[in-house]
Amino acid sequence: MAPRYRRQTSRAETRKSVLSTLAILAVTGFVAVPLAGPATTSASAWFFPGVQDSASLVVMGSGLGLDREEFGVTGGWGSAPAVGRPDPGSAQAFALEQVVSRGWEQSEFGCLVALWNKESGWNHVAMNRSSGAYGIPQALPGEKMASAGADWATNPETQIRWGLGYIEGRYGSPCAAWGHSQAKNWY
How many CB atoms neighbour CB 36 within 10 A?
10
Reference 102, options 165, 15, 33; nearest CA is: 165
Q: Whole-angstrom Cα distance, residue 109 to residue 28? A: 32
Burial of residue 14 (number of CB atoms within 10 Å: 0-12, 13-18, 19+): exposed
Q: Could you tell me the fold of the domain covering 44-184?
A: Lysozyme (1.10.530)
**Domain coordinates in residue numbering, the chain:** 9-40, 44-184
Is pLDDT of 137 > 80? yes
CB atoms within 10 A of CB 72: 18
Q: Given phi > 0 = left and psi -120 to 50 = alpha, else beta, which region is 155?
A: beta
Residue 59 is predicted with a pLDDT of 28
CA 15 – CA 13 distance, rounded (Å): 5
- Provide mean pLDDT across the span 76-86: 43
Beta carbons of 56 and 121 less than 8 angstroms apart = no
**How high is the pLDDT of residue 4?**
64
pLDDT at 111: 97
Question: Strand pairing partners for 71?
Answer: 128
pLDDT of residue 66: 35
Residue-wise pLDDT for 107-123, tens only, equals 999 999 999 999 999 99
pLDDT at 87: 72
Q: How confident is the model at residue 71 (pLDDT cuts 50, 70, 90)?
A: very low
Average pLDDT score over the chain? 73
Query: For 148, which DSSP code?
Result: G
Q: What are phi and psi of 84, to 5 degrees?
A: 70, 180
- Average pLDDT over every residue of 54-69: 33
Cα–Cα distance between 86 and 60 in angstroms, integer? 13
Residue 94 vs residue 26, higher pLDDT: 94
Predicted local distance difference test score (pLDDT) of residue 31: 45
What global pTM score does this model have? 0.57
**Residue 89: per-residue pLDDT:** 82
**Residue 11 pLDDT:** 72
Comparison of pLDDT for 171 and 54, the residue scoring more = 171
Task: Kindly calculate the radius of gyration of the chain based on its CA atoms and give it in whole angstroms.
Answer: 22
The band of 174, judged by pLDDT with boundaries at 50, 70 and 90, is very high
Give residue 117's pLDDT: 96
